[in-house]
Amino acid sequence: MLRTNLKHITSENEFNEIIENNENVMICCGRMGPMCLPVYDIMENLEGKYENVKFYDMEFDAPHAHVLRNHELARGFMGLPFTFYYKNGKAVKATSSIQTKKQVKDNLDTYLA
């Protein structure tokens, strides 16, 4: 399990329930590595500022993470973390590798407003 202050997705069933039952969801799928840690920190910082968005993490190497690792929007991704933005049950944006706070905010404002 990832050592973040975010809510953790620990199964495929839980992932499906979260996506189906929440209008706006951001998921960061990664490891406790140098490219992932800044994104987790940004998400933890923004969680209270975006009350309309549910923030989660998912361990990249867990079997259930195939739902993001193999997603069509992740084709060609080369670096961790994989970050997904879901609106009304559909993935509307995905990014890979490290991101700045501005990039994350721009995606939240554009895709989950």
pLDDT of residue 43: 98
CA distance 24 to 17: 13
Q: Which of helix, strand or coil describes residue 31?
A: coil
The full set of domains in the chain, from first to last, is 7-111 (3.40.30.10)
For residue 64, give the DSSP letter. G
Return the DSSP state at 83: E
What's the chain's average pLDDT?
A: 97
Mean pLDDT computed over 20-40: 98
Quote the distance between the C-alpha of residue 68 and its chain's center: 9
Residue 13 contacts residue 80 (beta carbons within 8 Å): no
pTM for this prediction? 0.97
Confidence (pLDDT) at 1: 83
Q: Give the pLDDT score at 16.
A: 98
Q: Is residue 76 classed as helix, strand or coil in its secondary structure? A: coil
pLDDT digits (tens, 9 = 90+) for 59-101: 999 999 999 999 999 999 999 999 999 999 999 999 999 999 9
Going by the DSSP 8-state scheme, the letter that residue 99 receives in this structure is -
Q: What is the pLDDT of residue 40?
A: 98
Using a pLDDT cut of 90, give the percent of the chain over it. Answer: 99
> What percentage of the chain exceeds 70 in pLDDT?
100
Predicted confidence at residue 87, as pLDDT, reads 98
